[in-house]
Amino acid sequence: MKKILKWMAGILAVIIIGLGIASFPTLMRGYRMYQDAVEQCSLSDKVAEIQSRSDYITLDEVPLAYQKSLLHSEDRRFYLHAGVDPIALVRAVFNDIKAGSYVQGGSTIDQQLAKNLYFDFGKTLDRKAAELFVVHDLESNYTKNEILELYINIAYYGNGNYGLKSASLYYYNVTPDQLNQDQINALVYTLKAPSVNNPKDRSETIPQSGLTTVGSNLNTAVDQFAETFMKTLNEIVSLHSPSDLLIPVFAN
């Protein structure tokens, strides 16, 4: 068994090195894009700018039901990963291959926040690479609650509304703490495609099961496969690496 694992480790090492070499130009372009962005405006200045807005709200002002619905829809392992969710990435790749096109990105809340802070919405590998460097800065300088709070205040909800307070007032004429569950579900659903899913322009009804049937659902079978893969990978890596280098495996 150990011989097989060692052989698999060798193959895996070759694959990782090959992928690293192949992706190096993209990472370098992404790093330059990241450098240009933070040179124009540092992350701390960006955050201060957002927090100074009159419609900025703290996490304490956001209903717990909204926070739960948001994390369930956008990033179930938010409090467990370090900015990038490997399981979500594996699932996204599986679904993209199955669909034969780009249908799911696997982006975490950290990655979405990085994009909203600095970059446009074009789906390019260079931009995705640049996001990772911003994600690293976010995770290094802010707590998870602070990152979630920033995301809630900068996310786009359609019709020119950025942030939950602006969206709540525009669509329902209530403050976030007054939102009911149906309104919460509608606003979280809006984040998938703000221009068409928002409460004002949406032409279809949100599934009665809440957000469990939306395109962002966890594909249980793929998640199980991904977690099994991660566990196997940890076993392989542990043969040659210190335990503190193991890829984290998170339970749902």
Which CATH number is 84's domain given?
1.10.3810.10
Whether 65 maps to a domain, the answer reads yes
Instruction: Write the DSSP string, 121-154.
Output: S---HHHHHHHHHHHHHHHHHS-HHHHHHHHHHH
Whether 200 maps to a domain, the answer reads yes
Q: What interhelical angle do 164-172 and 181-190 show, nearest 10?
A: 120
Q: How far apart are CA 65 and CA 239, in angstroms?
A: 43
Whether 251 maps to a domain, the answer reads no
Q: How far apart are CA 51 and CA 119, in angstroms?
A: 19
Whether 33 maps to a domain, the answer reads yes
Whether 250 maps to a domain, the answer reads no
Residue 20 has what pLDDT?
A: 53
Residue 87 has what pLDDT?
A: 76
Residue 227 has what pLDDT?
A: 54
Q: What stretches in the chain show pLDDT beneath 50?
A: 4-19, 96-97, 101-103, 209-210, 212-218, 236-237, 239-252
Whether 116 maps to a domain, the answer reads yes
3-state percent helix, strand, coil for the chain, nearest multiple of 5: 65, 0, 35
Domains: count for the chain: 1
Residue 90 has what pLDDT?
A: 66
Q: How far apart are CA 106 and CA 26, in angstroms?
A: 19
Could you list the residue range(s) of the whole structural domain that residue 202 is in? Answer: 2-245
Residue 26 has what pLDDT?
A: 81
Whether 252 maps to a domain, the answer reads no
Q: What is the CA radius of gyration of the chain?
A: 20
Residue 108 has what pLDDT?
A: 93
Q: How far apart are CA 214 and CA 207, in angstroms?
A: 8
78: which residues sit within 8 A by CB, 6+ positions away?
A: 71, 108, 109, 110, 144, 148
Whether 129 maps to a domain, the answer reads yes
